[in-house]
Structure 1
Amino acid sequence: MPTASVRYAGHLRTEATHVASGTTILTDAPLDNHGRGEAFSPTDLVSAALGSCMMTIMGIVAERHGLELAGTTFEVAKHMVAEPRRIAQIDVQFHLPAALGAKERVMLENAARTCPVALSLNPEVRQEVQFIYDL
C-alpha cells in the first residue's frame, strides 16, 4: 500500500494525500524557481521533516523516561545552492524546557541527531542543530 497519493494540480503545484489518514499537503515551487510560493516547496518539506523527525524521536525518548516536552518549539531554515540546485544546509533550533538536567539533555540531543530523516539525508547536506533550554 502506498504512503501517499500525489496529484499534479498544474502551475507547479502538487497535492499529496496521506493514504492512511486522508490528510493533504500542498506544495508550490518557490518564487525564485518560477513558482507562486503559496505553499511549502518540496525542499521546505524536507527541512520541516528533519525538524519534525528529530522532535518526534525526542518525544519518544521523553515519554519512555517520564520527561515532559509539551510546549517545545523549533524553527528550521534551509540554505540552497545553485549548481546543482539543492539543499546545502538545514538549520534547526529547538527551544526546550530549562528544567531538563544534563543527563536528559544529552540523551535527547543524541536521539534528535540519530532520527531516521537525519540519517537518510545525503551527507553533503549540512545539519546545524541548536538546543536552547529556555522554556
Structure 2
Amino acid sequence: MEKNDSHSILMGYLAWIFGFIGAHRFYYGKPVTGTIWFFTCGLFFIGWIIDLFLIPAMDREADNTFIMGDTNYSVTWVLLFFLGVFGVHRMYMGKWLTGLLYLCTFGLFGLGLLFDYLTLNNQIDEINGRHSAWA
C-alpha cells in the first residue's frame, strides 16, 4: 500500500518560521487554531515554540486526512502565501474564473484570501478526490 504524503514536513517547518501568525497551522488544515495563533502571536509565542516539536504529528495527521493527487498541497500553499492577492493559487487549482476575479480585485479585497486560508486544504482535497474518481 502506497503511503499518502499529501503534506511536506519541510514545508511545515518553513511555514513554522511564520508560525506566530498561524501559517503552519493553516497549512496542516487547522484553521481554528491558525486563527487563534494569528490573533495572539502564536499564543504569545509560547504555542509557537511548542509547535516546533508538534509539527511531525501535525504532518502525519494531515497525510492521513487529505487526499494526494494532481494538485499539490505545498505548491498551492506557497502560491497562496506569496501570490494570493493575484489569484495564482486558484488558477493553479484550475479555478480560472475566480483566479481572474482575485487578480482584478486583489483577492476579493482580502475576504477571498481569508476564505482560502480557512478552506484551502478542503478545496484541494475535493479537487484531488474528484480527479482520482475519474481515473
Structure 2 length normalisation: TM-score?
Answer: 0.21
Report the structure number with the largest CA radius of gyration: 1
> Which one has more relative contact order, counting CA pairs under 8 Å at least 6 apart?
2
Structure 1 length normalisation: TM-score?
Answer: 0.21
